[in-house]
């Protein structure tokens, strides 16, 4: 399977396989989507895709309850996949750096200064790097943080198949900032930044996609048009 970037334009590596100690934090991102790095290594993150079993599009229709309270709220049943986006993340003093590895072994790299104007320009331009830029823009609007390096070394999630691969990337970016800078976001906080970041790009996602933030498990959500 190609990396995320290849497909948009389209198990952990063996050295980590024996050391998958979860890193729980009360009230924050799900512990089954990260592992504790060994000394000198970055934080390892995994965010899955998601499949909607019941209630597709209720995230859109639920929003109309703000204008017509007689509309009944819908419910969705969503399950995280066992495939997703893998990355090693670490802090950077001044830039958002995304590295993604192709099946050929080629590494594509983009560096964007952690400046609001530059990040917003990249987000609105569209393409693979726009998702990361959009989320980073929303983060620095609300928090005083430096940059991050995202090494997307593996993606085994089928892309462009309705499995929320772009939302998974946005959640991963929000989670990277959250964990690296100890922003103390809850899972829903990460979902909100992922959503707000993605809608800055040409991709107009709904709020159901970010359920991938809960990891590879089943989630029941109410379709009220909000998280």
Task: Examine residue 154 and state whether it is found in any structural domain, yes or no.
Answer: yes
**DSSP type of residue 38:** P
H/E segment holding residue 101: strand 95-101
| Confidence bin at 92 (pLDDT 50/70/90) | very high
Query: Is the residue at 48 inside a domain?
Result: yes
Asked if residue 221 is part of any domain, the answer here is no
Give per-residue pLDDT as tens, 168-179: 999 999 999 999
pLDDT band at 96 (very low <50, low <70, confident <90, very high): very high
Return the higher-pLDDT residue of 126 and 219: 126
Closest by CA position to 167, among listed 2, 23, 4, 9: 4
Q: How many domains does the chain have?
A: 1
What is the reported pLDDT for 207? Answer: 80
pLDDT for the residue 183: 96
C-alpha distances out from residue 38 to 44, 86, 88, Å: 10, 16, 12
Task: Output the pTM of the full model.
Answer: 0.77
* pLDDT score of 8 more than 70: no
With cut-offs at 50, 70 and 90, classify the pLDDT of residue 219.
Answer: confident
Place of tokens 């892309």: 159
Residue-level pLDDT at 123: 97
Domain-located, residue 126: yes
Q: Please tell me the predicted confidence (pLDDT) of residue 216.
A: 83
Domain hosting residue 71, numbered range: 4-10+20-25+35-216
Stretch 190-208: mean pLDDT: 91
35: three-class secondary structure by DSSP: strand
Residue range 129-142: mean pLDDT, rounded: 97
* Residue 97 pLDDT level (bands cut at 50, 70, 90): very high
| Amino acid 184: pLDDT | 95
pLDDT confidence of residue 10: 32
CA 153, CA 141: separation in Å to the nearest integer?
28
Could you tell me which residue, 138 or 204, shows the higher pLDDT? Answer: 138
Q: Domain holding 144: CATH number?
A: 3.30.230.10
pLDDT range class, residue 33, cuts 50, 70, 90: very low
Look at residue 190 and tell me if it is in a domain.
yes
Please report which helix (H) or strand (E) contains residue 8, including its range.
Answer: helix 4-8
Question: What's residue 61's pLDDT?
Answer: 64
State mean pLDDT over 179-190: 96
Closest CA to 116 of 185, 197, 178: 197
Residue 224 lies in a domain: no
In angstroms, the CA 163 to CA 28 distance is 23
Q: How far apart are the C-alpha atoms of 109 and 7, rounded to whole Å?
A: 15
């Amino acid at each position: 399977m190609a990396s995320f970037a290849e497909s948009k334009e389209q198990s952990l590596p063996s050295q980590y396989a024996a050391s998958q100690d979860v890193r729980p934090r009360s009230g924050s991102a799900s512990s089954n989507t990260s592992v504790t790095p060994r000394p000198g290594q970055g934080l390892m993150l995994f965010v899955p895709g998601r499949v909607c079993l019941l209630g597709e599009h209720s995230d859109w229709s639920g929003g109309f309850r703000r204008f017509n309270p007689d509309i009944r709220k819908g419910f969705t049943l969503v399950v995280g996949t066992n495939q997703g986006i893998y990355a090693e993340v670490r802090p950077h003093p001044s830039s958002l750096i995304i590295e993604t590895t192709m099946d050929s072994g080629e590494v594509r790299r983009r560096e964007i200064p952690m400046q609001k104007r530059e990040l917003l320009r990249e987000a609105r331009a569209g393409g693979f790097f726009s998702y990361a830029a959009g989320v980073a823009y929303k983060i620095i609007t609300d928090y005083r943080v430096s940059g991050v390096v995202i090494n997307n070394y593996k993606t085994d999630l089928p892309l462009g198949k309705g499995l929320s691969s772009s939302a998974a990337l946005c959640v991963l970016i929000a989670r990277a900032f959250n964990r690296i800078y100890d922003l103390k976001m809850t899972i829903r906080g990460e979902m909100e930044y992922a959503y707000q970041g993605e809608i800055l790009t040409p991709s107009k996602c709904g709020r159901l996609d970010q359920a991938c933030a809960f990891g590879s498990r089943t989630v029941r959500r109410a379709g009220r048009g909000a998280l």
